[in-house]
Amino acid sequence: MTAVSPPSDGSELPLQAEAFLVHLTVEKGRSPLTLQAYRRDLRRYVAFLAERGCAVEDAGPTDVEAFAASLRSAGLATSSQARTLVAVRSLHRYLAAEELVAEDPTVDLEAPRRTASLPKALPVGDVLALLDAVAAPGVDPGAPLRLRDAALLELLYGTGVRVSEACGVRFGDLDLDAGLLRVLGKRDRERIVPLVRPVVAALATYLDRGRPEIVADAQRRGGIARDAADAVFLGVRGGRLSRQAVWEVIRRRGVEAGLDPVVLSPHVLRHSCATHLLDGGADLRTVQELLGHASISTTQLYTKVANERLVAAFRAAHPRATVRST
């Protein structure tokens, strides 16, 4: 069996694959991140075929099945296998539809079954400890980066926005007087999210006292990036705050709060927001709209988390739950 070895980022794809990616961009409106993932997965596939002396247009069912087997033998997670095979199947369907090949070799390809992973949510007390730690009086409360981090964490937990959505917030998206945020989500779907008072207060303080100092410091370094002029959240060098930087903020502030940084991430705060909303009585449709889920089935995962916690609490507390049969 041929081993899977993804080519370097500098390798090029065949013209047919490049045409397919253009199709995804122009006709399907896929995001740059999605295209990046497709390109990476197709490079892996093309490299595998090249090792077998086969071109994409000549690949048959046996080649595709061998590639799928190689993904399994490489120890990739089921979700990674499934994502890669989606890219391969989509490519071959495109080639067949455009009549660039006689038939689609992936027609009978079975994708690995994904096991629905339950989202992990922090206890309410841990979230509050995180938020209190970053805004704690006496811990350099006026530092611009601390004000930024406090606003960022309040926004992530208070609205459940994705990390990419938080990084993309612009001045025109905020209406602090009305307590509303316009979010541009996946596939450019727009939604309006309400802002609770702590979020509004943290953002107002940061925009009034924190961001101007970050901008002034960046100007002394050479100015802020052109595409970051209207960005709400800035990095220390004056550019738009990156997703990687947000991860680091959460981990660092979590350590200050005495929390385990391993369990902290922007997605965990998003999960926590959704779970705590449902625990508080919000209905599924409301949470779906707030979080920007395309399908209600995604939101329903949170009800499983709540149900499991309810069962565990019942078994731990009810006298009859611990009675053993003789």
Token pair listed for 287: 């949470």
Q: CA 258, CA 129: separation in Å to the nearest integer?
A: 8
CA 268 to chain centre: 10
DSSP 175: E
Torsion sign, CA atoms 227, 233, 235, 238: positive
**Nearest one of 173, 139, 167, 142 to 152, comparing CA atoms:** 167
Residue 120 falls in the annotated catalytic set: no
Q: CA 269, CA 53: separation in Å to the nearest integer?
A: 47
Residue 293 falls in the annotated catalytic set: yes
Q: CA 235, CA 256: separation in Å to the nearest integer?
A: 20
Considering 43, 253, 271, 293, which one is annotated as catalytic?
293
Considering 52, 182, 251, 267, which one is annotated as catalytic?
267
Considering 43, 270, 271, 276, which one is annotated as catalytic?
270
Residue 270 falls in the annotated catalytic set: yes
Considering 162, 240, 271, 276, which one is annotated as catalytic?
162
Residue 94 falls in the annotated catalytic set: no
Residue 170 falls in the annotated catalytic set: no
Sheet with 180-184: strands ordered across: 174-175, 180-184, 190-194
Considering 40, 52, 186, 237, which one is annotated as catalytic?
186
Count other Cβ atoms within 10 Å, centred on residue 48.
24
Residue 186 falls in the annotated catalytic set: yes
Q: CA 237, CA 184: separation in Å to the nearest integer?
A: 25
Q: Are 301 and 119 in contact (CB under 8 A)?
A: yes
Q: Which amino acid type is present at position 44?
A: R
Q: CA 169, CA 72: separation in Å to the nearest integer?
A: 39
Active site residues: 162, 186, 267, 270, 293, 302
